[in-house]
Amino acid sequence: MYNNRIEENILYEDKEILVCRKPAGMPVQAAKVGTMDMESALKNYLAQKEPGKTPYLGIVHRLDQPVEGVLVFAKTPGAAGSLSKQIMAGGAGKYYMAVTEEKITNAEGTLTNYLKKNGRANMSQVVPENTQGAKKAILHYQVLDQKEINGKTRTLLKIKLETGRHHQIRVQMAHAGMPLLGDRKYNPSGEKGTSLGLCSCSLVFKHPKTGKQMKFETEPHGSAFLDFVKKL
């Protein structure tokens, strides 16, 4: 599925953009030689469509390797610039489904923190506002459902990002006492043997050429969502 069948994950394509569904576990851009990633798989797909031509594929945003969901890529430099500006300015709507291990009493809420990335550890942490290198992070959440599973409460959330920081949802939710199911990086003492409970379920942006608003959606496939799948 990662390389030979990448076309099965394509949701939309035209001359300017390519929208696809990233499987959980597949990196957007691999750091290790020999590791298949979305960028390489999609470039191979585009090269096969037009033999002899080197395809352009611009990465304008990312999802963490264990996160599944919707991504948009640019097929021209102009589209890359337009999409990057939208995302940097908060003009693109990024919505996620998430499953936490804890019961959440508030039906909805907003989390505002300052995050600092530790590149060596590939982690981020909540820090005081005046910390050098700290960046403001804001997300809004809404409780969709709660279930008791093996004596433990799991909560299904819909999350809207206002900012796009490194590991933002995972860090902020863990800091707020609502760690994501299956997050072995920020919730190491949590339940084992399940996928990360995080899916980029909806992406809204303006087409870089026409200006038309476009919306793409997908449902989570990971095991963390199995108890809620009939609700989605």
- What positions carry a catalytic annotation? 64
Q: How far apart are CA 144 and CA 140, in angstroms?
A: 13
User: What angle is formed at CA 157 by the lines to CA 193 and CA 167, rounded to 5 degrees?
Assistant: 65
**Residue 34 tokens, joined:** 């020999």
The three-state DSSP-derived secondary structure of 31-80 is: CCCCCCCHHHHHHHHHHHHCCCCCCCCEECCCCCCCCEEEEEEECCHHHH
Q: Output phi, psi for 207, to 5 deg.
A: -60, 130
**SS3 at position 172:** helix
Which strand (E) or helix (H) includes residue 174?
Answer: helix 168-175
Largest CA distance in the chain: 58
No. of helices (H) and no. of strands (E), the chain: 3, 11
Q: How far apart are CA 145 and CA 143, in angstroms?
A: 6
Q: Strands 135-149 and 123-127, how do they pair?
A: unpaired
Give the residue from 124, 18, 3 showing the smallest Cα distance to 70.
Answer: 18
